[in-house]
A and B are shown apart, each in its own frame.
Chain A
Amino acid sequence: MARRLLIPLLLCGFLLACVGGETNVAQGNRDGVLHFGNYGEPQGLDPHVVTGVPEHHIIGALFEGLVLKNPETLAIEPGVAESWTVSDDGRIYTFKLRDNARWSNGDEITAADFEWSWWRALQPALASSYVFMYFPIKNAEAYFNRSLSNFDEVGIKAIDKKTFRVELDAPAPYFLQLLDHYALFPVHRPTVEKFGAPDESYTRWTRPENIVSNGPFLLDEWRLFKYLSVKKNPDYWDADKVKLNAIRFYPIDKQTTEERMFRAGQLHRTEEVPIDRIPWYRQNRPEVLKIAPYIGTYLYRLNTRKPHLADVRVRQALSMSVDRRRLIDTVLNGLFTPAYSVVPPGLLGYKPPDVFGFDPDKARQLLSEAGYPGGKGYPGLEIQYNTHEQHRKIAIAIQQMWREELGIDVRLQNKDWKVYLDDETTGNFDASRGGWIGDYVDPNTFMDIWTAASGVNRTGFADEEFDRLVLQIAPNAKDHETRLNTFQQAERLFLEQMPIVPLYTYSSKHLVHPGVKGLSPNYMDYYNFRYVSLEPDASGVTQD
């Protein structure tokens, strides 16, 4: 009996489903709801605890720091601080907070809120991953490491209700940019303390029913692994300029699923585009494909501790024999820009030094000088990469280039993500795929990672002169020009030692529905949802 009913029931369900009709995008355009592909489920929403891009997008909608960035130019704009002054020596910043900035429960935002929030972020037990963002501030690192116990000696001070002063160890031209990073956002003290100790992480204060925030949007609904939605905050100080009524963030970690959802009109914007779909979009729907240079470098680390990679000439030969243009054109659908330096060009006017180029003859000569003419006698190399189709394709291409140009034997080793990280960290590799995305627009974010003590280095490269230039000379440089020259000098030294093979500068790639305005691509792939709007009449159906 039940079985006899099942077929009609299923058919009914099927037919019912087919009359569904309107897509998310069409509906969203009408109601001002942005459907946003957001890569992964956020680990949490506490600005002082989490890391990661999905969290960044959501927290940027919920909270606001002292300043904001213009999404097109990345220029600094006022946020909670309506104005600020910088002392002549570039070390003391004094912020004037705006009178109409409020928490979502109606409380006024005061300088004391910032002082307490920053004190909280510096508590070691909180284990804030981005705590190093505070370290340009005077004594912040010492206080975090507990070599200093008095917080009064840290350069963070609420002067009065609306005046907040920050003192740095040394001038840091990128300091204002850091203020727009969520690690330096304020949190609402009574709410945090209601659900646990200040230095306790992942308490329930960020749940929708508890959270108090200060950004243009409010947390509305959080359905694990389905979506997280935020709605417009009517009490936000600049609420008149906010055009969206709501944003729904979808945690979609599979690029192909995300791309299909976009094509079916379920998303306005994707976090990624599968690289093999790029030619199709270029040809058929160029208006939705948004590609822009992105502040990141794709590279291979070389393990300088291994005997067969200890000779700098071998490392130089490896780097010079890679035809980056051909790699990008053939394997990567022409998507990225060849990189011959570790700092991408154009960071605050920085010009990377010109140290090497694609030069297979020179590469062979160097290898021969190192004692391996034509690759003879060379023990061979292993390239390790984490499981990903794109990494595999690149590794195969480079394997081929090294074999052809240098005559050396190259093996490929595909590893699970955590195994790959473990082997890289413990130095169990020859050449290892890697990448670095800058935390802010400044050469420093690409340079200080290669100092001897840095956990990102992993190549065995350690050079006192390099460390001195990056950690001491550059921060104390008299002016911008001198500072950039110091970084250039440091990068030249680094590239001459060649502990890495830079391959290309990243591009951000998204699919964006034509009805979305104000989601402009920029170098940081940074969004400010205050500027985003939707066109009600834009077609929601995406035909192909």
Chain B
Amino acid sequence: MVRFIALRLLQAIPVLFVVISATFFLVRQAPGGPFDAEKPVIPAVKRALEAKYNLDQSLWQQYLSYMGDLLQGDLGPSFKYPGWAVQDLIGSGFPVTAELGIYALLIALLIGTTAGVLAALKPNSAQDYVPMSVAMIGICMPTFLLGPLLVLVFGIWLEWLPISGWGDLPGDKILPSITLGAAYAAYVARLSRGGMLEVLSQDYIRTARAKGLPEHVVVLKHALRGGLVPVVAYLGPAFAGLLSGSFVVETIFQIPGLGRFYVQAAFNRDYTMILGTTIFLSTLIVLFNLLSDVIATWMNPRLRDGLRGGSQ
């Protein structure tokens, strides 16, 4: 197992190198620069700005000096918010996005697995159709529609919950977490239904039932572990997606998270911020994919044994 993890981590290095280099050169190909504005600065000021941020050097020189700084852990100052280093901004945005992502994931798992398991227990009945139809709506309904709808009902009509901010007013984390979690809950529901259906038709479940175990023991103890393997495999990419894809929810609810920084950085041509967040998020995605592979292997005896056999 250790060798498996070490190998995967080694493989990640060239992947990250390619991602960083490609991003560096691609963002420079986009028209417009960080200092372009409707009211342009006078040429002398623009030259001074470009000198300050080394933009007057050749692209290769800039690339080499960026990679040099990166190896020392320095992501440089943001172009849009030059008073802050990119790592400061990531440091302020990531905990917020991570917290939002965790809540959303918990909501997705809670709602998704419950609905999926219930549906799988009585396939092709109302107990199946109703939650699965709701799940389908959940998949189809974009967050930019669901978010404002929830705000309208719970924030403005009922006045139950705050509609913006993060950790400023009691309960302001609820609506964004539900909004972000809903779409993932729908996926989780479909995945766990599929997984459970497959497992419930296996011989060992028939055996369990045959020896007279109560149904809830069969489902919760025997079926669930195998039935949720697809869900676990989905968790790594899902969490990475939650972190990098929370932009819309963060915008709707005015949350100071990483997703907003990332998208805004692209619009602003904030080169260092784009690179910094790309590096940070791609590292996370690599790690989460690895983590979910490890967990899936641990949950699936066949894979686990295969790995053990291979490493001997």
B49 contacts chain A at the CB level, 8 A cutoff: yes
* A83 interfacial by beta-carbon distance below 8 Å: no
Task: Give the contacting residue for A416; candidates B40, B45, B267; CB below 8 A.
Answer: B267
Q: Return chain B residues, CB-CB under 8 Å to A434.
A: 38
B36 interface residue (CB < 8 Å to A): yes
Taking a contact as CB atoms under 8 Å apart, the answer to whether A124 and B44 are in contact is yes
In the bound complex, how far is the Cα of B46 from the Cα of A129, in angstroms?
A: 9
B170 touches A257 (CB 8 A): no
Residues of A within 8 A of B162 (CB): 17, 20, 264, 266
Contact B80 A43 (CB under 8 A): yes
A254 nearest CB neighbor, chain B only: B251
Is A3 within 8 A of B166, CB to CB?
no
What is the distance, in angstroms, from B264's C-beta to the closest C-beta of chain A? 8
Residue of B nearest to A19 (CB): B170
Residue A411 interfacial (CB < 8 Å): no
Known contacts A418-B30, A419-B31, A3 near B110 by CB under 8 Å: yes
Q: Are B171 and A17 in contact (CB under 8 A)?
A: yes
- The yes or no answer to A422 lying at the interface (CB within 8 A) is yes
Interfacial residues, chain B to chain A (CB-CB below 8 A) = 30-33, 36-46, 48-49, 52, 77, 80-84, 89, 92-93, 106-107, 110, 148, 151, 155-156, 159-166, 168-172, 174, 251-254, 256, 260-261, 267-269
Contact: A257 with B252, CB < 8 Å?
Answer: yes
Cβ of A6 within 8 Å of any chain B Cβ, yes or no, is yes
| Contact yes or no, A41 B267, CB < 8 A | no
- The one of A132, A226, A260, A418 in contact with B42, judged by C-beta atoms closer than 8 angstroms, is A132
Residue ID in chain A nearest B269 by CB atoms: A418
* A264-B45 CB under 8 A given contacts A257-B164, A456-B40: no
**CB-based contact A43/B39 at 8 Å:** no
A266 B38 Cβ-Cβ under 8 A = no
Least CB distance from B259 to A in Å reads: 11
Give chain B's interface secondary structure class.
loop
A405 vs chain B, min Cβ distance (A):
29
A-B contact pairs, 16 of them (CB 8 A): A6-B106, A6-B110, A7-B110, A16-B170, A17-B170, A41-B81, A127-B41, A129-B41, A225-B256, A225-B261, A226-B166, A260-B156, A266-B163, A418-B30, A421-B37, A422-B31
A44 at the B interface (CB under 8 A): yes
A528 at the interface (CB under 8 A from B): no
* A425 at the binding interface (Cβ < 8 Å): yes
Of residues 17 through 53 on chain A, the ones whose CB sits less than 8 Å from some CB of chain B are 17-20, 41, 43-44, 51
Partner of B52, one of A3, A201, A416: A201
User: Taking the nearest CB of chain B, how far is it from the CB of A384, in angstroms?
Assistant: 12
A125–B47 Cα distance when bound, in Å, is 9
Q: Is the CB of B256 within 8 A of A226?
A: yes
Q: Do residues B254 and A261 form an inter-chain contact, with CB atoms below 8 A?
A: yes
Residues in B neighbouring A14, C-beta threshold 8 A: 171, 174
- Shortest Cβ distance from B88 into A: residue: A224
Contact B169 A20 (CB under 8 A): yes
Chain B residue at minimum C-beta to C-beta distance from A423: B31
Q: How far is B223's CA from A342's CA once the two chains are assembled, in angstroms?
A: 74
Residues of A within 8 A of B163 (CB): 260-261, 264, 266
From A44, A125, A423, contact of B48 by CB (8 A): A125
CB atoms of B151 and A260 under 8 A apart: yes
Bound form: Cα–Cα A275–B283 in Å? 42
Number of A-B contacts (CB under 8 A): 150
State how many angstroms separate the Cβ of A421 from the closest Cβ of chain B: 5
In the bound complex, residues from chain A placing their C-beta under 8 Å from that of B171 are 13-14, 16-18, 20
Cross-chain contact A18 with B161 (CB below 8 angstroms): yes
Residue in B42, B52, B169, B256 whose Cβ sees the most chain A Cβ within 10 Å: B42
Question: CB distance B37 to A260 under 8 Å?
Answer: no
Give every chain A residue within 8 A of B38 (Cβ-Cβ): 421, 434-435
Closest to A435 in B: B38
Closest residue of B by beta carbon distance from A145: B44
Whose C-beta in chain A lies nearest to the C-beta of B89?
Answer: A224
Q: Does the CB pair A257–B52 fall under 8 Å? A: no
Chain B residues with CB below 8 A from A202, complex form: 77, 82-83
Residues of A88-108 whose CB lies within 8 A of B:
none
Whose C-beta in chain B lies nearest to the C-beta of A204?
A: B83
A220 to B162, CA, bound (A): 24
The answer to whether B92 touches A224, judged by C-beta atoms less than 8 angstroms apart, is yes
Are B32 and A418 neighbours in the complex by a CB distance under 8 Å?
A: yes
Chain A residues lying within 8 Å of B256, measured Cβ to Cβ, are: 223-226
Partner of A131, one of B39, B45, B148, B268: B45
The answer to whether A206 has its CB under 8 Å from any CB of chain B is: yes
Residue of B whose beta carbon sits closest to that of A222: B83
Closest chain B residue, CB of each to CB of A124: B48
Interface code A395-438, partner B: CB below 8 Å = 1, 0 otherwise? 00000000000000000000011110111010000000011000
Complex Cα distance, B268 from A13, in Å, reads: 38
CA distance A417 to B83 in the complex (A): 23
Known: A418-B32, A456-B40. 17 other contacts (CB 8 A): A43-B82, A124-B45, A127-B48, A224-B84, A225-B256, A257-B254, A260-B148, A261-B163, A264-B156, A266-B165, A417-B267, A418-B269, A419-B30, A422-B32, A422-B36, A434-B38, A435-B38
CA distance A131 to B49 in the complex (A): 13
Complex: A36 Cα to B155 Cα, angstroms: 20
A16 to B36, CA, bound (A): 47
CB distance from B205 to the nearest CB of A (A): 21
> What 0/1 pattern do residues 232 to 260 of A give for CB contact below 8 A with B?
00000000000000000010101011001
A144 at the interface (CB under 8 A from B): yes
A250 to B168 alpha-carbon distance, docked (Å)? 12
Q: Flag whether A263 is at the interface (Cβ < 8 A).
A: yes
Whether A225 pairs with B110 at a CB distance below 8 angstroms is no
Cα distance, A434 to B156, chains bound together (Å): 36
CA distance A260 to B92 in the complex (A): 25
Alpha-carbon separation in the docked complex, A131 to B172 (Å) = 43
Instruction: Return chain B residues, CB-CB under 8 Å to A224.
Output: 84, 89, 92, 256
Known A-B contacts A13-B171, A206-B83; the reply to A418 vs B31 at CB < 8 A is yes
* A250–B32 CB distance below 8 A: no
Which of B36, B93, B159, B168 lies in contact with A264, CB distance below 8 A?
Answer: B159
Give the contacts of A115-135 with B (CB-CB under 8 A): 124-129, 131-132
- CB neighbours (8 Å) of B170 from chain A are 16-17, 19-20
Interface centre among A10, A418, A434 (most CB of B within 10 A): A418
What separation, in Å, do the CA atoms of A43 and B41 have in the docked complex?
15
The residues of A that contact B156 with a CB separation of less than 8 Å are 260, 263-264, 544
Known A20-B169, A257-B164; contact A418-B39, beta-carbon cutoff 8 A = no
Q: In angstroms, how far is the closest chain A Cβ from the Cβ of B310?
A: 33
